Structure 1
Amino acid sequence: MPASPRRPARLQGRVFRGSLAVADGLLTPAELRSSAWRPLFRDVYADAQLEITHRTRCAAAAQLVLPPGVVIAGRSAAALYGATTIDRSEPVDVLVPTGQRFGPVSGLVVHVGAIDDADVTRHQDIPVTTPTRICWDLAQWLPTEEAVAIVDRLAHQHLVALAPLRANARARIGHRGWRRMVRVADLADAGSESTPESRLRVRIVLAGVPTPVTQFVVEREGRFLARLDLAWPHLKVAVEYDGLWHDDPEQFHRDRRRLNRLVGEDWIVLHITAKRFREDFDGFLDELRQALRSRSR
């Protein structure tokens, strides 16, 4: 049986520079390549017994890879604020000030742009762009649907306010990327409660359908009946997104019981699954348009 890899106490539970560990005599180059250690970036390693998350990678990059002035940004910064989730294997977004040379670095996506002092803060002891700057960068770097979904989460968590965000976007008319920021800000909705619902709403609106109300509450004589993901209340048409959580029989039961309360209230409720959203959105869109037309006559 092969011997277990050597794990010096000074390196256990830590992220460290491999070259320094070798120079200090803690490990040999061969030991550094053993299963005891996990490479994160060039010359940056972690104890393999650590749980490696995207935050771990962001912190390691900020501490051991990034030069002064370069900060965590975009989706990575949003993930640190809890506005999105990123798999540990995905690269870290960083923003480099215009005129500063840095990169490329394996494991990082390097973006270059002007950075004001007001655009940078520290969160979880990591230098990151502010939520407002995150929104601007997402609008430039991501497809509209994906950018809006993250801005929705930032707004839902009260990390950005949409009215000032929209005003700020329009105040920067003429700046590079301002049109994309205006579009994303106008499409964002703090009422959205999940990323799939945000993407569904944005795709519906970009298809030319009037903007729905998010999380609309239906009442009867002042008593709560149901809350709908997306609704056109004046037409009594709604859309419910059936996501992966409906694999839970109890959740499915609760949702269907909630919607059954609308029987007799003259609502049309359309359902769309994750599979249909991916594979037959056009077919669903035809059904939605037909439902809206039927109530507009």
Structure 2
Amino acid sequence: MLPSGAAIAGRSAAALYGVGSVGVAEPLDVLVPVGQRFGPVAGLSVRTAEVAEADVRLKTGIPVTTPLRTCWDLAQWLPVEEAVARVDGLAGQRLVQIDELRGSAHDRLGLRGCKRMLRVAELADPGAESVQGSRLRVRLVLAGLPRPVTRFVGERDGRFVARLDLAWPDLRVAVGYDGLWHDDPEQFHRDRRRLNRLLGEDWIVLHVTAKRFGEDFDGFLAELHHALRTRTRTRTR
């Protein structure tokens, strides 16, 4: 039983809104108002902060931080890459608006945590289609690359050819993330066929697998840097 004013928060709240998940062995995030004494409790990760009544709502009878407050807490508690991945999901479901996040941060200028919220809001993109795709995009931007377009639709003669995870359309360079869903050979075949059509339109399409994302990201980043530099030089000639 949670104390008065407390709520499920952070990653656990995001999961209740359908964004990400919390493993069975992971603790639930709980936010407790300042002045309340609660815990430690096995299976709960308890954090204390100022909590307004408007920051909490009931979801199937359970007190949960609102999507807006959830984004604030995610920005404070998680590394920026992980926070943005979940904020992307909440924004993609239209539970929050990016401008709303920026406004919330500006309203708290001077308070601890506002800069983290602003940074997450600047990096967030409701067009992201997966948590891992969000992580990839954020990592590329933090590495100094220009911000890519999410879910870019490649066309030929006005007709749909393929939707690309990340793209720099002016340079005709794109990145595709090959996640676990590509264990389906038929889906993999369809995706590759569509991308091959784009290659005929003079696109460079690079692919990063889950394994490479985790073990050889620097190598992939060097390849992408090279592709973008090559296309930039070609355009300036």
What is the TM-score with the length of structure 1 in the denominator? Answer: 0.77
Cα distance per residue 1:182-205 (max 9 Å; x no partner):
000110000000011000000000
RMSD: 0.8
What secondary structure sits across from 1:93 in the alignment?
strand
Cα distance per residue 1:116-175 (max 9 Å; x no partner):
111010112210000000000000000100000000000011110111211221221111
* 1:189-268 to 2 correspondences below 5 Å: 189-268=125-204
* 1:141-220 to 2 correspondences below 5 Å: 141-220=77-156
What secondary structure sits across from 2:199 in the alignment?
coil
What secondary structure sits across from 1:109 in the alignment?
strand
What letter matches 2:153 in structure 1? V
What secondary structure sits across from 1:182 in the alignment?
helix
Task: Answer yes or no: is the 8 Å Cα contact 2:22–2:28 preserved in 1.
Answer: no
What letter matches 2:54 in structure 1? A
What letter matches 2:93 in structure 1? Q
CA distance in 1, matches of 2:162, 2:188: 14
What letter matches 2:28 in structure 1? V
Task: Answer yes or no: is the 8 Å Cα contact 2:179–2:209 preserved in 1.
Answer: yes
Segment of structure 1 superposing worse, 220-229 or 137-146 = 220-229
In structure 1, the gaps of 5 or more residues are: 1-64
Task: Answer yes or no: is the 8 Å Cα contact 2:84–2:123 preserved in 1.
Answer: yes
Choose the corresponding residue for 1:287, options 206, 223, 230. Answer: 223
Hey, what does 2:47 align to over in structure 1? 111
Superposed displacement of residue 275, structure 1 = 0.2
Matched length: 233
- Higher RCO, 1 or 2 (CA under 8 Å, sep at least 6)? 2
Hey, what does 1:92 align to over in structure 2? 28
Task: Answer yes or no: is the 8 Å Cα contact 2:152–2:167 preserved in 1.
Answer: yes
What letter matches 1:202 in structure 2? V
Segment of structure 1 superposing worse, 119-128 or 192-201 = 119-128
Is 2:139 aligned against 1:139? no
Hey, what does 2:13 align to over in structure 1? 77
What is the TM-score with the length of structure 2 in the denominator? Answer: 0.96
Give the number of the structure whose alpha-carbon radius of gyration is greater: 1
Superposed displacement of residue 269, structure 1 = 0.3
CA distance in 2, matches of 1:166, 1:228: 27
Task: Answer yes or no: is the 8 Å Cα contact 2:105–2:117 preserved in 1.
Answer: yes
What letter matches 2:82 in structure 1? E
Identity of aligned residues (%): 70
What secondary structure sits across from 2:73 in the alignment?
helix
Task: Answer yes or no: is the 8 Å Cα contact 2:6–2:31 preserved in 1.
Answer: yes
CA distance in 1, matches of 2:146, 2:167: 10
CA distance in 1, matches of 2:15, 2:131: 13
CA distance in 1, matches of 2:27, 2:176: 33
What letter matches 2:13 in structure 1? A
Hey, what does 1:4 align to over in structure 2? none
What secondary structure sits across from 2:151 in the alignment?
strand
CA distance in 1, matches of 2:3, 2:97: 31
